[in-house]
Amino acid sequence: MVNLHKHNMKKFFILLFMQIAICCTTFAANYLTFTAEKDNSSFCIEESFIKSNIFYSLDNGETWIQLTQEPVSLSKGNQALLKGNGPNQTPSWSRHSNFKMTGSIAASGSVMSLVDGDGESKTIPYAKCFYQLFYNCYSLTQAPELPATTLKKECYREMFSGCTSLTQTPELPATTLADSCYYRMFVSCKNLTQAPKILPATTLATSCYREMFDRCTSLTQAPELPATTLADNCYNEMFYGCTSLTQAPKLPATTLADGCYFGMFESCNRLTQAPELPATTLATSCYREMFDGCTSLTQAPELPATSLAKECYREMFSECDLIEAPELPATTLAEDCYYGMFSGCTSLTLAPELPATTLADGCYNGMFSRCGLTQAPELPATTLADGCYFGMFNYCASLTQAPELPATTLAENCYKAMFVGCNGLTQAPELPATTLANGCYFGMFYDCTNLIQAPKLPATTLEEECYLVMFSGCTSLTQAPELPATTLADGCYNGMFSRCGLTQAPELPSTTLAKECYYEMFSECTSLTQAPELPATTLAENCYNRMFYGCEKLSHIKVAFTDWGTDTEIWVTDVAETGTFICPEELSLEYGDNFIPEGWTVKQEENTRTEAVATAEILKVHTSGLTIFVSNADTDIEVYEVGGRLIDKARNTKGDTQITVPQSGIYLVKAGAQTFKVAL
């Protein structure tokens, strides 16, 4: 009986201890724990206008001390437990707390103990809860557990940003996300090699994974992303600059959202394979810059969508090494939809067919800029949109033939910079349009150095900046097209033939000018010998400024205006040293870069100006030998040779002002607005 009793008592105590152990296990706290991996390691909390209410224990929970900005030292192998009850106010951009560390510290346990006291909670209590908690903790080698399944807006934002010693991420079990919850969570963790195997959430939120692994340059494998319904900017730049990433995860989503894949793999220069993209209905900026800078990507995924959206493919494959473009079946385009889509794809020699006949503003803007194309695709649209072909083929140096451009009514900036730097073009396409628009041909053939023939330009009514720098830098262009327009517009011919090889200028029949209409039109045309006749009698603001600047062989100009004004600024700088300037007798003979070229012979058309001046009561001129006498002048007096060289200049006096010339001949005497000839 006694032995049986003893046996039962022993069994009772064993069961009791087991139950106690179970209870202790059940209710044991899962504190956030810092373990030193090196001597002289330390940690503290840095507070910015907010009290963190965090406590630490160095004796396994026996004693708790409030954590401050004073560093807590740890020797190698020593541990500190941490707990808290949340800050005294909700964190914000300027009011939050974060750890500072030295040495080498591994974190373990649940981060939730900082807000619930024991680490057992699975619900994050407020927005920005752990915002920048370990920001730039270079000494952190291991992240703590993040067990929460219910998240809040920006709860983990930049939590481990700059933790350069972190090599592995914790598991992230949440299946329902919140706006920006993982935003920039691991930015610049350059030694991070392993991400979670899967991010299991199927219900996403705005910017939830945005820039999550931005510039994690050692990351070799991306997590699985099973979501099929996306949210705005959800994957925006998620793996930006992950230069060790060679393969993208599957992207099964068929319901997209604005900016959902924007820059997702931008600058992943070792990525060799793109994922399938099955969606047929797109969203604004959905694929924008998705593979921009993926210089190892040689093949694009199929793009079956026929319903496009604003900027949907913008710069999607910019700077990739694609050798073949995907089919683009859409016939109705959207604003900036193909903007820069293949820009910098230097290995791309063949463009896809572009069947669209309904264009949109900027739809093809820079689409093939700096590509290796040898032939342009057909462009069948006859109804254009603002900026639709802006820069479409600029610097395609191997392009030898331009597409036909059948439109007769243009749109603003429609052909702007379309073939800039295409120096394999020898002939421009026909341009039949007679109804122009602002900037329609702006820089269209800029720096096409091998262009030898310009198209006809039949329009007679121009628009603002319509021909602005259209052929600028076309050094092989020796003959300009006819320019029949008589109704000009501001800046219409601005720089049109600057730096061209023209030997002869076109006629300019208009007698009514517009602001900056001929500004720099022929500047630095170093083979031009004769300017077109300029029949306008009244100038407009800056109309002739820099018009013949740097035309070093130009030796003949004929004008009809009678007043210089301020509209010929440096228009004859660096022209030929000698030449002929023909002007009305009424035009005052002023010399220099803004007026008549010095050293040129002036021919004035017959008029009555000389007689009127000679008989004027205010100014009197007479000569004796080689001396000119001028009386009653109210301004300084200048004497020029007929060729334009200044002989002498004298200040006016109350009596006669004397100027002696070196030899006999015909001279021009100028005093203020009065100019006339004298023969000695």
* 263-283 confidence digits (pLDDT tens): 999 999 999 999 999 999 999
Note the pLDDT of residue 671: 77
Note the pLDDT of residue 660: 84
267, 290 in Cβ contact below 8 A?
A: no
Sequence-separated (6 or more) residues with CB below 8 Å from residue 211? 183, 184, 187, 236, 237, 238, 240
Note the pLDDT of residue 634: 72
Q: Which two tokens stand for residue 26?
A: 């059940």
Q: Which two tokens stand for residue 488?
A: 């000009």
The CA-based dihedral angle spanning residues 495, 501, 502, 503, taken in that order and rounded to the nearest 10 degrees = 150
- Chain position carrying tokens 């800056």: 542
Half-sphere exposure of 101 (CA within 13 A, CB side): 31
Q: Which two tokens stand for residue 653?
A: 């006096």
DSSP category for residue 176: B
Sign of the CA dihedral 281, 283, 284, 290?
negative
At 34, is the secondary structure helix, strand, or coil? strand
Q: Closest Cα to residue 211, out of 154, 126, 152?
A: 154
The CA-based dihedral angle spanning residues 276, 281, 286, 289, taken in that order and rounded to the nearest 10 degrees = 60
Q: How far apart are CA 509 and CA 485, in angstroms?
A: 7
pTM of the entire predicted model:
0.83
* Beta bridge partner(s), residue 262: none
* Beta bridge partner(s), residue 670: 638, 675
Sequence-separated (6 or more) residues with CB below 8 Å from residue 20? none
From residue 211, alpha-carbon distances to 39, 233, 630, 662 in Å are: 35, 10, 82, 81
- Chain position carrying tokens 């099964």: 252
Residues of the chain with pLDDT under 70: 1-27, 48-50, 87-94, 606-619, 642-644, 653-655, 673, 676
Per-residue pLDDT tens over the stretch 210-252: 999 999 999 999 999 999 999 999 999 999 999 999 999 999 9
Sequence-separated (6 or more) residues with CB below 8 Å from residue 388? 359, 360, 361, 362, 363, 364, 365, 381, 411, 414
Note the pLDDT of residue 608: 36
Q: How far apart are CA 641 and CA 546, in angstroms?
A: 25
Task: Starting at the earlier edge strand, list the strands of the sheet with 41-47.
Answer: 72-74, 41-47, 97-102
Q: Which two tokens stand for residue 166?
A: 């972190």
Note the pLDDT of residue 92: 65
Note the pLDDT of residue 659: 83
Sign of the CA dihedral 253, 259, 264, 269?
positive
